[in-house]
Amino acid sequence: MKELIKIQERNGVSVVSARELYSFLTNDKECRHFKEWSARNIVNNEYATDGFDYQRIPHNGGNNRAMDDYAISVNFSKELCMMSQCAKGKQARQYFIA
């Protein structure tokens, strides 16, 4: 199966970049609204656990802008795809399952 979203190993856990998942689901290559999306779907998600479902990855972008990302577990990624209720979400969910 073609790689849709890069799956990485981090501390022995398979994870994906929340920015990459967001970009795939929204077709927003610049992730302009990532901060709001990540707050709503990751940080303030009552069913997500920091350190288990996701981990904040601090990163400074250009021009001293904060460009934080989150390493999210594959299982949590599938949940986020189900919540997206779009064709890209279904495609990504099937990719993670495979």
| The total number of structural domains that make up the chain | 1
Mean pLDDT of 84-97: 81
Is the pLDDT at 77 greater than 80? The verdict is yes
Task: Please state, as a whole number, how many other Cβ atoms lie within 10 Å of the Cβ of residue 54.
Answer: 24
Domain that holds residue 89: 8-97
92 or 14, greater pLDDT: 14
Residue 50 lies in a domain: yes
Residue 2 lies in a domain: no
CB–CB of 22/5 below 8 Å? no
Is the pLDDT at 83 greater than 80? The verdict is yes
Residue 28 lies in a domain: yes
2-48: pLDDT as tens digits: 788 899 998 888 999 999 999 888 875 555 688 889 999 999 999 99
- φ, ψ for residue 3, nearest 5 deg: -70, 115
Portion of the chain with pLDDT greater than 70, in percent: 87
Residue 47 lies in a domain: yes
CB–CB of 91/30 below 8 Å? no
Instruction: Report the pLDDT value the prediction gives residue 8, as an integer from 0 to 100.
Output: 93
**CA–CA gap between residue 65 and residue 46 (Å, rounded):** 28
Instruction: Report the pLDDT value the prediction gives residue 82, as an integer from 0 to 100.
Output: 84
Residue 12 lies in a domain: yes
**CA–CA gap between residue 79 and residue 60 (Å, rounded):** 28
Per DSSP, what are the bridge partners of residue 70? 56
CB–CB of 95/5 below 8 Å? yes
